[in-house]
Amino acid sequence: MGLDLAKVKAMAVAYAEAWCSKSPQAVASFFAPDGSISINRGEPSTGQAALVEMAAGFYAAVPDISVYCDDVRIAGDHALLLWTFDGHHAETNAFVTVSGWEEWDLGEDLKIKISLGWFDAEDYARQIATGGQSSTS
């Protein structure tokens, strides 16, 4: 299956907007019923309930999170979403800015079957601890 770049970009922008909605269910709705996400080689969150829980965890950590779709690439039934998120950390009130990406295997319906997410967790932790953005962001 070859993906349509314009359709995938529209879906990726809508996915980022779903993150901005603060609704874990809205985020999970972009995944296939048995879809999964693994972040930085962590244990996958698989299925709608686990995906809702994963998104809720991000909202608990960064309640005013905003997510931006920076770019999209496609190849076959695979897509790459480059994103940035920012917001204030719930415990320290530090403003954080984090960039990363998700590698997607997509179904014909553009639902995410598998997502492999990546970001610099050390820089994120540093920003939380020091109360500021990275000099590399």
Locate the domains of the chain by residue range.
5-130
Q: Taking residues 103-127, report their average pLDDT.
A: 97
Over 50: is that where the pLDDT of 136 sits?
A: no
**Stretch 115-133: mean pLDDT:** 91
- pLDDT bin (cut points 50, 70, 90) of residue 135 is very low
- Please say if the pLDDT value at position 16 is more than 90: yes
Residues 63-84: pLDDT tens digits? Answer: 999 999 999 999 988 999 999 9
Whole-structure pTM value = 0.92
pLDDT at residue number 132 = 64
Tens-digit pLDDT profile for residues 29-59: 999 999 999 999 999 999 999 999 999 999 9
Q: What is the 3-state secondary structure (H, E, C) of the chain?
A: CCCCHHHHHHHHHHHHHHHHCCCHHHHHCCEEEEEEEEECCCCCEECHHHHHHHHHHHHHHCCCCEEEEEEEEEECCEEEEEEEEEEECCCCCCEEEEEEEEEEEECCCCCEEEEEEEECHHHHHHHHHHCCCCCCC
The CATH label, of 3.40.30.120, 3.40.50.720, 3.20.20.70, 3.10.450.50, for the domain at 5-130 is 3.10.450.50
